[in-house]
Structure 1
């Protein structure tokens, strides 16, 4: 009966309209900001090391100690995980719209505060930065379940996958924007305060104004979030929440009549019948949920967890991979600001060639090829290319082979985004009941961020060289870059197997997928069976 509600049928059958694109932009700008804030930090970590950890008279400029680097890169991910769980639950309790603006306001405040981090010492400044980046991550975490759920509940049945994937694809532009802003800021300061390389003059290679560079880059993330806030507050609550969770058929009909510009009848009796059914009242920790959606939740959490181990390891530590193959020159051959430029330029190139196209290939093909096929294909090719980078690793470190390494590396990002990095976001917003949809998406995405934390902290330590001289300076004994890449390839391979737990959601309504009309379908089948039996003839023998 859920799919017979006029307001839901109208949403499922609606042609692509202007409000669809408006919703994509409003929700997508949140993800643009998310990606900018999470992935701009690698562009400035080397600069932070030069400013706060360079020892006087040292042969090479300073770098962040492993524990500090792990904290700066990983603390926002910890905040994101907590935010996904909290706001995912809150989105089902209070409604999607009521908490949607709160996440954005938190992101604006924390972005600005991160750039204004203060302290009397290096430890004080870094500790303040980590504090505000945790709360930045907390706001970003809320954007995942709320944006995905809102877009899935607004979309029509035919192109729902493309609409949800379009929201997530704005991450690609956010990563690219982070690199471009870093390039522009670094170029402006490099021209204004032309400084020699560290090798030529260690003291002069770090101009005092370099401290402004990382602050401006981090604070810029507040601008797109602030510009979107007004439009988020203007969005009506989704009809599926209003009707199926808040039980207000009249308000749902009124809201969607304005959005779709058609007359929709309020059907309160049908809504009451749906929400009062015994089969539609189970909770998250019930046996009924475990029976209907237990394997689904395991599938969405495990695949997202495994994906993010590999994806965030590769993304957050691109600069270390580039340095390990010699694509970036040694730090002593650059001044502090020029190093930011070089790192950001490399990030922009990979984003432009692999990350951004991968996202939009998913948007173009997800409703044709299906979620399952794209996810399986993505994990497969990520595995292939990671092994291809790892096994002949020393071959790629030779100068004449670096272009080949970068092409293969870009392809891993392409198939991550034309693959599980997009589908793991889409599917949890489709297959769970309306009253648990935001919560389950929050749990799934939090599992992903747990994988990201494993990847961020694990990669940093695992990829360290076994050189005992480095261990004397506080670096742990790792397994090396080659073995780390092999480990990431195995992780992607495991993702392929867990993909088989995730159902295909292409072309079905949300109520069909979540089972909210399961009782009705069972009743219909029983009635059809009785009718067929009564109309059949009995032939005596």
Structure 2
């Protein structure tokens, strides 16, 4: 029996499992893989959540820690600018990080579909660790021999690539390992690491600042921080960023040694034997009388049979004539059966041999079968929610200070300024985000992904309109408490809404062969929205003195603009995302059922939008052909005549060839051309007769 401690602290595969699947048919192996994933125990599926979640925690920590660090960088390196980092540098740090994320999401999502999830999973975490250490070691060098901001920009861009890569990989791996009944909760738990990472960034800032408080004079301000003060601040910001490496290093070994996704190995790698064997070993089966060999196989190598409902066993139960497909001793050593429900089994049979990835299949699935609109919906919804989420989130210190103090002046002492920012962020941002994620974790399977997303978009639309419309009045009368409550509600409905569901749904709606790319594209559109928001808010100018420097004036107008995108996200969810997430018997759909795509094919290809795009395409082709003809008419006369003569000869030869084919067909005169094909005798190796010039001999074919 495997020790309980080893079940958690395993390095790669269970050394006690020595099962062989050579004699099992491919269809039975595939059913075993699905059955085994459905029967995973808590210690097995929770391990996947931990490994995926730790990386996501690190990513969120790295993204939002910069909010705490930028004020310190201004104090240390830009005293001539009043102790504030230049505006362009501040924006560049955020935009380059988010831009790198776009590259990582699409690039690693595609790579995960081509070369496998496992090969990419550890690689992106190595990039994140290396880039974080690079940020920590950035400096101006001796006597200004280097530029700290240049190094920060380079390493933050590389860090963004690693952060972006983790989005599709963590979601896809968690989704493909998860039992259907727990998939929503597992993906929610992984995404919940984002607000936890954000919370950790604020707590580490608070601890690091309090730990070195003696090095910061009580009267030190942004403009009079002495050498000792700057050295202390320099140490603090490097500790804040560097601590984010610790959880990543812990998770690195397990990411490098995790097995390939069984679904990927079976569907894309076309190797169900390897997938079943690795899964059998990785999920740590008990060794006493419960190995897969003793359960799945017997001496005769009988195929799996479906037990009829007349025998008293639930329809869809997979078993052998002697034993169920899989059983596992519990603590009382009594066998426990796991089985697929009938709809899940039918989906497994329908997806028995999914087509291999190819350009032809890609066009068929997304264009002709109409699944491109699902990808458009997931991408646009993510764009809509990330526009305000990162637009407000990555500017949170300035916005929160404005909301918290109103017309009152914030503290000017460095220590008080830092600690107040931390506490305000904890209360306004982290508290609401964690509450929202917790509600989603409880309600994800009861309400459904689509309903939660609709609910979130709706309430965010209402809240943005209310805050935007009442902000100036509340700000003038000192009603900051009401604004704080409304802002906390926004954070709740971000995570109990589209911020979580836009991460979950792309990991479920698409087939294994394209799941990584589709999730990466969807996430990249989200980060594109965050880049647009950063640039929009950074250089906004509404006129009448309302620009990025007057937060209390541009914030309400920006919230009203963001509310329009919440409405667009709501309408897109209602119109384009699949409505049904369960089977008629209320069991959740499996990944194999989602992989079948939309139930009615070809509707997208005949949709008015698609027809409009097709008309534009054909009009463009016709326009290019006309340009070609105009250019061709401008060519010299001799060249033009030569081309026309060649075209005329070709047409004459085609007419003669068709005539000879008709004659040969009537006579039934065929001969072998040596290539294994029966062709009319005049056309041996493409020749009409012996002269090979395409002309008929006298009397031939007549």
Rounded to whole Å, the distance in 1 between the matches of 2:28 and 2:163 is: 33
2:292 aligned partner: 263
Instruction: Tell which deviates more after alignment, 21-30 or 493-502.
Output: 493-502
Secondary structure of residue in 1 paired with 2:255: helix
Alignment of 1:95-174 (within 5 A): 95-120=116-141, 121=144, 124-174=147-197
Secondary structure of residue in 2 paired with 1:40: helix
Residue 340 of structure 1 deviates from its aligned partner by: 2.4
Note if contact 1:464-1:479 (Cα within 8 Å) is conserved in structure 2.
Answer: no
2:568 aligned partner: 494
2:64 aligned partner: 39
Secondary structure of residue in 2 paired with 1:41: helix
Note if contact 1:282-1:289 (Cα within 8 Å) is conserved in structure 2.
Answer: no
Q: Does 1:13 align with 2:38?
A: yes
1:289 aligned partner: 366
Rounded to whole Å, the distance in 2 between the matches of 1:365 and 1:274 is: 29
Alignment of 1:93-492 (within 5 A): 93-120=114-141, 121=144, 124-198=147-221, 206-260=229-283, 261=285, 263=292, 285-292=362-369, 293-327=371-405, 333-398=411-476, 400-462=478-540, 467=545, 480-492=554-566
Residue 333 of structure 1 deviates from its aligned partner by: 3.7
Unaligned runs of 5+ in 2: 1-25, 286-290, 305-347, 583-587, 601-702
Secondary structure of residue in 1 paired with 2:391: helix
Aligned length: 510
Which of 584, 588, 594 aligns to 1:513? It is 594
Rounded to whole Å, the distance in 2 between the matches of 1:175 and 1:331 is: 26
Rounded to whole Å, the distance in 2 between the matches of 1:253 and 1:81 is: 34
Residue 280 of structure 1 deviates from its aligned partner by: 7.5
Q: Select the structure with the greater relative contact order (CA < 8 A; seq sep ≥ 6).
A: 1
Note if contact 2:401-2:421 (Cα within 8 Å) is conserved in structure 1.
Answer: no
1:537 aligned partner: none
Cα distance change, pair 179–332 in 1 and its aligned pair in 2 (3 A): closer
Residue 12 of structure 1 deviates from its aligned partner by: 5.5
Rounded to whole Å, the distance in 2 between the matches of 1:476 and 1:357 is: 31
Cα distance change, pair 140–47 in 1 and its aligned pair in 2 (3 A): same
Cα distance change, pair 278–86 in 1 and its aligned pair in 2 (3 A): closer
Residues 398-452 of structure 1 show CA distances to partners (whole Å, capped at 9, x for unaligned) of: 5742122111101101111011111101110111111111111111111111111
Note if contact 1:145-1:441 (Cα within 8 Å) is conserved in structure 2.
Answer: yes
Rounded to whole Å, the distance in 1 between the matches of 2:106 and 2:164 is: 8
Cα distance change, pair 193–3 in 1 and its aligned pair in 2 (3 A): farther
Residue 227 of structure 1 deviates from its aligned partner by: 0.8
Normalising to structure 1: TM-score of the pair?
A: 0.86
Normalising to structure 2: TM-score of the pair?
A: 0.67
Rounded to whole Å, the distance in 2 between the matches of 1:122 and 1:171 is: 37
Rounded to whole Å, the distance in 2 between the matches of 1:86 and 1:369 is: 33
Residue 200 of structure 1 deviates from its aligned partner by: 9.6
Secondary structure of residue in 2 paired with 1:47: helix
Rounded to whole Å, the distance in 2 between the matches of 1:329 and 1:341 is: 20
Secondary structure of residue in 1 paired with 2:539: helix
Note if contact 1:83-1:137 (Cα within 8 Å) is conserved in structure 2.
Answer: yes
Rounded to whole Å, the distance in 1 between the matches of 2:485 and 2:100 is: 33
Which of 103, 109, 112 aligns to 1:91? It is 112
Residue 62 of structure 1 deviates from its aligned partner by: 3.1
Please provide the CA RMSD for this pair: 3.3
Residue 353 of structure 1 deviates from its aligned partner by: 2.1
Note if contact 1:197-1:333 (Cα within 8 Å) is conserved in structure 2.
Answer: no
Rounded to whole Å, the distance in 1 between the matches of 2:146 and 2:83 is: 14
Cα distance change, pair 358–284 in 1 and its aligned pair in 2 (3 A): farther
Instruction: Tell which deviates more after alignment, 258-267 or 243-252.
Output: 258-267
Residues 242-261 of structure 1 show CA distances to partners (whole Å, capped at 9, x for unaligned) of: 10111111111112223442
Residue 83 of structure 1 deviates from its aligned partner by: 0.3
2:620 aligned partner: none
Cα distance change, pair 2–67 in 1 and its aligned pair in 2 (3 A): farther
Rounded to whole Å, the distance in 2 between the matches of 1:5 and 1:276 is: 9
Unaligned runs of 5+ in 1: 520-541
Residue 117 of structure 1 deviates from its aligned partner by: 0.8
Rounded to whole Å, the distance in 2 between the matches of 1:25 and 1:430 is: 20
Structure with the greater alpha carbon radius of gyration = 2
Q: Larger % of helix: which? A: 1
Secondary structure of residue in 2 paired with 1:431: coil
Rounded to whole Å, the distance in 2 between the matches of 1:321 and 1:476 is: 10
Residue 216 of structure 1 deviates from its aligned partner by: 1.4
Which of 61, 86, 90 aligns to 1:69? It is 90
Cα distance change, pair 284–62 in 1 and its aligned pair in 2 (3 A): farther
Residue 205 of structure 1 deviates from its aligned partner by: 10
Note if contact 1:40-1:217 (Cα within 8 Å) is conserved in structure 2.
Answer: yes
Rounded to whole Å, the distance in 2 between the matches of 1:181 and 1:448 is: 28
Secondary structure of residue in 1 paired with 2:270: coil
Cα distance change, pair 434–201 in 1 and its aligned pair in 2 (3 A): closer
Residue 325 of structure 1 deviates from its aligned partner by: 3.2
Cα distance change, pair 283–183 in 1 and its aligned pair in 2 (3 A): farther
Rounded to whole Å, the distance in 2 between the matches of 1:407 and 1:102 is: 42
